[in-house]
Amino acid sequence: MFTGIVEEMGRVIALEGGRLRVSAERVLEGVGLGDSIAVNGCCLTVVTHDEHSWEADLSEETLRRTALSSLEPGSQVNLERAVRADQRMGGHIVQGHVDGVGTIRHRVPDLRVSVPDGLERYLVEKGSVTVDGVSLTVVDVDGDTFSVAVIPHTSEVTNLGALDEGALVNIEVDIVAKYVERMATPHFEHLREERS
């Protein structure tokens, strides 16, 4: 589990044959093989590391369902270690399981993102959303797009400030919304059947 509070920006060293190598410093403090680090909001497993970089294997599923496949050497990426039980929960509950790939429609500070069909139902005004691993609060929702206000600090310490219109980003909607839908759907289907 993660919080959506980015610890540092790393840089992609290489993405070859499903192996991603990222330069980093802070997230490597105390890291061990098998630990989880989120890269642009996607939970990855550390398979090797040294003082200044680490590697993760990306499955075909991960490459197909996330924006990680668009990374190139030099790309800035948002990094966050898995949360510990003794840490503050500064953002919101983030699993690191990407729900879809969104597209930047308007740059920060008034960031607007379009989402794949079906994800818009999980977005609500003042609700939580994760964009490239950054916990943000939804300002408004308009069809398949939503906006968030990105403060200067967030723009500086994450990759969001460098993203241009058309850039692909990983989107994770609020897990609570997905669970509520899952639990409520059978109830509403039962009510529809009774009314038919």
Query: Quick check: 111 pLDDT over 90?
Result: yes
Section 92-105 average pLDDT: 95
The CATH number of the domain holding residue 22 is 2.40.30.20
Residues with Cβ within 8 Å of residue 152, at least 6 apart in sequence: 109
pLDDT (tens digit per residue) in 157-183: 999 999 999 999 999 999 888 888 888
Contact 185/35 with Cβ under 8 angstroms? no
Cα 48 from Cα 54, distance rounded (Å):
6
Q: What is the pLDDT of residue 112?
A: 98
pLDDT value for 88: 78
Confidence at residue 14, expressed as pLDDT on a 0 to 100 scale: 98
Where is the domain boundary, 81, 115, 141?
Answer: 81
Work out the average pLDDT over 122-133.
96
- Looking at residue 191, what is its pLDDT? 64
pLDDT at 190: 65
Which contacts of 152-158 are long-range, i.e. CB under 8 A and separated by 24 or more positions? 152/109, 155/108, 155/109, 157/6, 157/8, 157/9, 158/6, 158/9, 158/78, 158/132, 158/133, 158/134
- What pLDDT score does 179 carry? 86
Number of domains in the chain: 2
* Residues 111 and 172 reside in one and the same domain: yes
| Whether residues 104 and 175 fall in one domain | yes
Residue 1 has pLDDT above 80, yes or no: yes
Percent of the chain with pLDDT over 90: 83
Residue 171 domain-assigned?
yes
Mean residue pLDDT of the chain comes to 94
**Boundaries of domain holding 35:** 8-81
Convert the pLDDT of each residue in 73-96 to its tens digit.
999 999 999 998 787 778 888 999
Contact 93, 83 (CB under 8 A): no
Task: Count the alpha carbons within 13 Å of 4 in the hemisphere toward its beta carbon.
Answer: 24
Q: What's the rounded Cα separation, in Å, for the pair 156 and 65?
A: 27
Tens-place pLDDT, residues 6-50: 999 999 999 998 999 999 999 999 999 999 999 999 999 999 999
89 lies in some domain: no
Based on the fold, state whether residues 110 and 67 are members of the same structural domain: no
